[in-house]
Amino acid sequence: MDWISWLIVGVLALAVVVAGIVVIARRRSLPPAPRRPVLPSEPETSAGPDAGAAEPETSTGTATLERPEAPSTRMARLRRRLAGSNNPLARGLLSILSSDRLDADVWDDFEATLITSDLGVGPTQELTEALRRELAVDGVSDPAHARAVLRHELLSLVGPGVDRSLNLHGADGKPAVVLVVGVNGTGKTTTIGKLARVLVAEEKSVVLGAADTFRAAAAEQLQTWGDRVGVPTVRGPEGGDPAAVAYQAVQRGIDEGADVVIVDTAGRLHTKTGLMDELGKIKRVIEKLAPVTEVLLLLDATTGQNGLIQARVFAEVVQITGIVLSKLDGSAKGGIVVQVQRELGVPVKLIGLGEGVDDLVPFEAEQFVDALLTD
């Protein structure tokens, strides 16, 4: 082989080496291939009801987590939402304070206003009689005294000494279980999402159970709320057994040492007996694993008497331990707080004040009354 041939071979070898270096450099400059995400383990269904059914899915989402507002700062909005100029009940109460003289016509108008504000006939008569007795001599000549009397009597109706705390203490190291019930249209799934935010703000670990398997997109909606604050959601196939999903959610909470499990339920019409029986079944199945520590009935504060009918029917199926009133802002009449507590003998524990994600607050009798009496 002459020198020209050796030169050609050398050039080709050099070209191969250079090409290899270029390929290696390009590979190093490329971003790494995406790795398959590791999914959280799904709960087994063999130990629960309806073994062999499709396993509920569990998700914690991948969205950037939000920081919920601290419950203590939410109360500042209560006065603004329930101010006297916006609330029918408040306007009726304040009408007494603005009257020059308290004659029969004023008291008749006052009673009518309270009754139409969903306070109820019995509480209205009690409040009116107490005010007439207290203000019989001085009337409203001393506005400060009249306001103090009105506040005292109204507060006694609302119930200042009632324990309104949520029972979030599970037995034997198991999580507390909160079952939320109510009819369609009350904002039940949204309220559960807001309640999860309240608990996360209190540094509690939460598992959500999407046991409303009959409403389209209910599970997806609940999971979205959970993903926003890093709370896992156990869900099942659409149209699946709600009791099985509830069971799996509680089992998930036990396995992971969660503080609270909140279970959503179907909100179909309370007049359908079979559906109410199903609600009772969900509670019984859950209690094979852990006691239900709270049964919260969600009522739309704007529905008035219809809300009371709903409350009676639900109370016959499950033992209601607390009431959550949604939409208790300027559009609500406010008196439903007193009437529904008397009807069921259980306290209002939470109120929803608006559409914001952190507009669910613990109900406090004094804050409520003071807000109503704010001009």
Tell me the pLDDT tens digit for each residue of 96-151. Answer: 777 777 888 888 888 888 888 888 889 889 999 998 888 876 667 777 888 888 88
Residue 261 has pLDDT above 90, yes or no: yes
Q: Are strands 233-235 and 348-352 parallel, antiparallel or unpaired?
A: unpaired
Q: Which of 68-72, 184-188, 283-287 has the lowest mean pLDDT?
A: 68-72
Residue 308 has pLDDT above 90, yes or no: no
Residue 54 has pLDDT above 80, yes or no: no
pLDDT in the model for residue 105: 86
Alpha-carbon torsion (286, 287, 292, 296), positive or negative: positive
Which range has the top average pLDDT, 2-16, 130-144, 360-374?
A: 360-374
75-158 CATH choice from 1.20.120, 2.30.30, 1.10.8, 2.30.29 = 1.20.120
The answer to whether 278 touches 266, Cβ cutoff 8 Å, is yes
Mean pLDDT of 207-216: 88
pLDDT in the model for residue 336: 84
pLDDT in the model for residue 140: 72
Compare 71 and 361 and report the one with higher pLDDT: 361
212-259 pLDDT per residue, tens: 888 878 899 999 999 999 999 999 888 888 999 999 999 999 999 999
Q: Which of 19-23, 74-78, 96-100, 323-327 has the lowest mean pLDDT?
A: 19-23
Compare 286 and 55 and report the one with higher pLDDT: 286
Compare 249 and 79 and report the one with higher pLDDT: 249
Q: What percent of the chain has pLDDT over 90?
A: 30
pLDDT in the model for residue 52: 35
**How far, in Å, CA of 78 to CA of 294, rounded?**
25
Residue 286 has pLDDT above 70, yes or no: yes
pLDDT in the model for residue 55: 45
Distances (CA, A) of 284 to 65, 243, 287, 292, 318: 34, 9, 5, 9, 10
Residue 23 has pLDDT above 70, yes or no: no
Mean pLDDT of 161-167: 92
Which CATH code for domain 61-73+163-365? 3.40.50.300
Q: 3-class SS at 10? A: helix
Compare 225 and 63 and report the one with higher pLDDT: 225
Q: Do domains 61-73+163-365 and 75-158 have the same CATH topology?
A: no
pLDDT in the model for residue 293: 96
pLDDT in the model for residue 9: 57
pLDDT band at 292 (very low <50, low <70, confident <90, very high): very high
pLDDT in the model for residue 29: 44
pLDDT in the model for residue 259: 97
Q: Where are the domains of the chain?
A: 61-73+163-365, 75-158
Residue 177 has pLDDT above 50, yes or no: yes
Q: What is the mean pLDDT of the chain?
A: 78
pLDDT band at 375 (very low <50, low <70, confident <90, very high): low
Q: Tell the residue number behind the tokens 């507009």, with chain if given.
A: 359
Q: What percent of the chain has pLDDT over 70?
A: 74
Distances (CA, A) of 308 to 265, 335, 362, 369: 19, 12, 21, 21
Q: Which residues contact 294 (CB under 8 A, 6 or more apart)?
A: 166, 167, 168, 176, 177, 178, 179, 321, 322
Amino acid of residue 374: T
pLDDT band at 51 (very low <50, low <70, confident <90, very high): very low
pLDDT in the model for residue 31: 41
